[in-house]
């Protein structure tokens, strides 16, 4: 008989794999030597022969085996992925866990027999995104860590979908799949299994003298909450820890196995095992929290002391700046392989504006597309329906494309806000830019004339993802901010969909539902009207902005400034250059747009580029960087 719930254990080595099955795991998840989220150490993960043996070993003991292929993938990796998926199907793995949208398209073509589970890295945080995945072959969702058990219970009663939830282990400060801090700074992406964990650094907060671990999240522990987990409709209890020792994993899995079995055998007579709980606490790695399982955890989410941090992956470094040397190297890299390729040398400009005042100023500039809405950082207020309608009207009069941008993170409350807006907005044709797949489902269910534009949150890293968006009616796609030169060239040369690239503005490294102001002050100051600053040990200052939903957005210090390589980017197929205007005044934003426009109008003349770039540096007031285009991969 199928278990009512599945206890899912991690394994990074063969010894750990045997150990967790012996300890009572119903299923094990592990990775091959490539394409997974634990790529720091070569001795971890399984080669193909080990994978074959692991499937046989698990099945002989009535356990299931899932393989993680949950990286963002480049085009050449997707070519290799075909053979790997065929191999996994041949050895009869029970399922694969994916992150990249391209995998939905690839797996649909291959038609394997294994199940498809969406990774937590897909940031599945609302009912519509779950529907989207279900309709494209996904049978199990590893939910966003910020989703409560109450939400999952409602979803499980609505949809024919399995839900998997973390019950123990290392948690991220940022929303999964939306953290690019490590990728921008080190070229080691959290979306590609190589996170250097900048959230575990000490920072000095505005108004404080000492450095503390303000972003260091406690470990998840649901040992005392198994009843609530089972009753929520969660079918798979997931333990994090593929890099933990076999001994520690045996203790964890056997402890949870006993408690789950005790409850299932006698739900009415079940009570928490205090002695076992005490031992669980004694053997903890970090301090414990139930994270967002029962609502916002508040101050209990973070351990500021950092005393129990088991491993330091990195220390703060000065953020790289644009130099004559790295400009020359980047130009050379971008022009390699361009022989015989024909692209327009002129690209259009897009500007993202935070307020209606900014919009009015930008409307007079030479931009083709203006992005409105999105995350409203205090003291700015969210765009009203009246402002949106007026902006679209004025845009039409001035021949500008005005695009409504959804918030970067969309939980159920944000989705409900959007649906109410969509259902009541019939004034004008609506152009919508989003980084959340659930919005696609919501829009096609609305009685609304619209067109779609893909934002950075979709993590576009390969050509096949662009193909998928094109099939679903997207007019354009924005490249991931972690895309390097190779990704720019590979995706651009396919000419599948209009490609937009952010070339100017602040870089958001993380977005989190944890509020640093609330944690520091101990009380919620709803309506707080300004952000704060985190200083790292290298001296870099990171602005932290609060949006209309009280989320905290942590920015890197240096702004993107790709003006010196616009010509090369245009030759690589970038159709639109975006300027993010959120940290600039209306006057500064207009100046920046005019400088970029001048470079384009003068056909990227080197003298004009140099003069304009010098002026740009003065306007921005912070150092400029090439971001992921120059960081070593």
| pLDDT tier at 3, thresholds 50, 70, 90 | low
pLDDT of 351 over the 50 cut: yes
Q: How many structural domains comprise the chain?
A: 2
Report the mean per-residue pLDDT for the chain.
93
589-627 CB burial, b ≥16 within 10 A, e <16: bbbbbebbbbbbeeebeeebbeebbebbbebbebbbbbb
CA distance linking residue 543 with residue 521, whole number of Å: 18
Model pLDDT for residues 543-601, shown as the tens digit of each residue = 999 999 999 999 999 999 999 999 999 999 999 999 999 999 999 999 999 999 999 99
pLDDT the model gives residue 40: 54
Residues 431 and 367 in one domain: yes
**Top-confidence residue, 300 or 278:** 278
pLDDT the model gives residue 520: 64
Average pLDDT over residues 509-522: 83
CA distance linking residue 480 with residue 378, whole number of Å: 26
Cα separation values, 505 from 57, 382, 584, Å: 52, 20, 9
Beta bridge partners of 369: 350, 401
Rg over CA atoms, the chain: 24
C-beta separation of 556 from 550 below 8 A: no
CA distance linking residue 82 with residue 103, whole number of Å: 10
**Top-confidence residue, 20 or 36:** 20
| pLDDT tier at 45, thresholds 50, 70, 90 | confident
Domain that holds residue 567: 339-505+560-628
Residue 187, in any domain of the structure: no
Residues 419 and 564 in one domain: yes
Give percent of the chain with pLDDT exceeding 70.
96
Residue 250 token pair: 């045996």
Average pLDDT over residues 254-258: 98
pLDDT of 308 over the 80 cut: yes
Residue 325, in any domain of the structure: no
Model pLDDT for residues 184-209, shown as the tens digit of each residue = 999 999 999 889 999 999 999 988 88
pTM of the model: 0.95
Pairing of strands 552-555, 541-546: antiparallel
Residue 178, in any domain of the structure: no
Average pLDDT over residues 250-261: 97
CA distance linking residue 70 with residue 98, whole number of Å: 4
Beta bridge partners of 405: 373, 433
pLDDT of 274 over the 70 cut: yes
Residues 270 and 166 in one domain: yes
Residue 381, in any domain of the structure: yes
Residues 355 and 249 in one domain: no
Residues 485 and 591 in one domain: yes
283-320 CB burial, b ≥16 within 10 A, e <16: eebbbbbbbbbeebbeeebbbbebeebeeebeebeebb
pLDDT the model gives residue 382: 96
Average pLDDT over residues 299-322: 92
Average pLDDT over residues 441-447: 89
Residues 350 and 283 in one domain: no
Give percent of the chain with pLDDT exceeding 90.
85
DSSP state of 563: G
Average pLDDT over residues 377-382: 92
pLDDT of 153 over the 60 cut: yes
Average pLDDT over residues 138-162: 94
Residues 386 and 448 in one domain: yes
Domain harbouring 80, CATH code: 3.20.20.70
Average pLDDT over residues 154-180: 95
Residue 46 token pair: 């399984």
| pLDDT tier at 446, thresholds 50, 70, 90 | confident
pLDDT the model gives residue 632: 61
pLDDT of 343 over the 80 cut: no
pLDDT the model gives residue 518: 74
CA distance linking residue 268 with residue 260, whole number of Å: 13
Model pLDDT for residues 403-439, shown as the tens digit of each residue = 999 999 999 999 999 999 998 888 889 999 999 999 9
Tokens 């909450």 — which residue?
A: 225
């Amino acid at each position: 008989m199928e278990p009512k719930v599945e206890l899912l254990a991690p394994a990074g080595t063969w010894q750990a794999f045997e150990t967790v099955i012996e300890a009572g795991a119903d299923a094990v998840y592990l990775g091959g030597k490539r394409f997974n989220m634990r790529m720091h150490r070569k001795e971890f993960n399984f080669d193909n022969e080990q994978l074959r043996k692991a499937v046989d070993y698990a099945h002989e003991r009535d356990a299931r085996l899932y393989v993680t292929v949950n990286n963002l993938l480049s085009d050449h990796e997707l070519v290799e992925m075909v053979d790997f998926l065929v191999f996994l199907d041949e050895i009869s793995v029970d399922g694969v866990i994916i992150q990249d949208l391209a995998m939905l398209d690839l797996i649909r073509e291959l038609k394997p027999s294994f199940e498809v589970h969406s990774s937590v890295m897909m940031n599945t945080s609302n009912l519509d995104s779950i529907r989207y995945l279900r309709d494209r072959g996904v049978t199990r969702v590893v939910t966003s860590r910020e989703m409560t058990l109450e939400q999952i219970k409602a979803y499980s009663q609505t949809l024919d979908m399995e839900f998997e939830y973390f019950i123990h282990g290392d948690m991220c400060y940022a929303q999964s799949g939306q953290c690019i801090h490590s990728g921008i700074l080190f070229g080691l992406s959290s979306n590609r299994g190589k996170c250097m964990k900048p959230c575990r650094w000490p920072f000095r907060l505005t108004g404080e003298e000492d450095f503390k671990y303000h972003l260091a999240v406690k470990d998840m522990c649901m040992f005392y909450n198994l009843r609530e987990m089972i009753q929520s409709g969660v079918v798979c209890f997931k333990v994090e820890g593929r890099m933990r020792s076999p001994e520690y994993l045996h203790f964890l899995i056997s402890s949870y196995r006993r408690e789950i079995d005790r409850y299932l055998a006698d739900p009415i007579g079940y009570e928490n095992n205090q002695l076992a709980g005490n031992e669980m606490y004694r053997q903890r790695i970090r301090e414990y929290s139930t994270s967002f399982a029962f609502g916002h955890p508040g101050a209990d989410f973070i351990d500021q002391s950092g005393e129990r941090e088991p491993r330091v992956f990195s220390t703060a470094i000065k953020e790289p700046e644009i130099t004559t040397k790295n400009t020359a190297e980047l130009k050379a890299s971008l022009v390699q392989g361009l022989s015989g390729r024909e692209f327009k040398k002129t690209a259009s400009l897009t500007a993202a504006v935070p307020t209606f005042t900014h919009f009015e100023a930008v409307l007079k500039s030479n931009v083709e597309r203006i992005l409105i809405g999105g995350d409203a950082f205090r003291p700015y207020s969210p765009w009203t329906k009246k402002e949106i309608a007026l902006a679209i009207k004025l845009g039409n009069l001035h021949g500008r494309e005005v695009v409504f941008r959804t918030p970067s993170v969309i939980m159920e409350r944000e989705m409900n806000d959007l649906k109410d807006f969509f259902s009541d907005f019939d004034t004008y044709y609506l152009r919508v830019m989003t980084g959340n797949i659930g919005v696609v489902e919501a829009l096609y269910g609305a009685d609304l004339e619209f067109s779609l534009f893909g934002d950075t949150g979709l993590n576009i890293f390969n050509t096949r993802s662009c193909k998928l968006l094109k099939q679903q009616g997207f007019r354009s796609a924005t490249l991931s901010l972690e895309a390097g030169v190779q990704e720019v060239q590979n995706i651009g040369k396919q000419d599948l969909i209009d490609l937009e690239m952010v070339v100017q503005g602040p870089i958001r490294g993380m977005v989190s539902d944890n509020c640093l102001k609330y944690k520091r002050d101990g009380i919620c100051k709803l309506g707080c009207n300004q952000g704060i600053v985190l200083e790292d040990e290298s001296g870099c200052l990171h602005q932290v902005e609060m949006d209309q939903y009280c989320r905290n957005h942590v920015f890197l210090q240096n702004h993107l400034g790709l003006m010196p390589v616009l010509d090369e980017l245009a030759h690589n197929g970038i159709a639109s250059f975006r300027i993010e205007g959120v940290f600039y005044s209306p006057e500064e934003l207009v100046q920046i747009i005019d400088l970029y426009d001048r470079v384009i109008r003068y056909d990227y003349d080197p003298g004009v580029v140099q003069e304009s770039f010098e002026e740009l540096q003065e306007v921005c007031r912070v150092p400029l960087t090439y971001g992921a285009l120059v960081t070593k991969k």
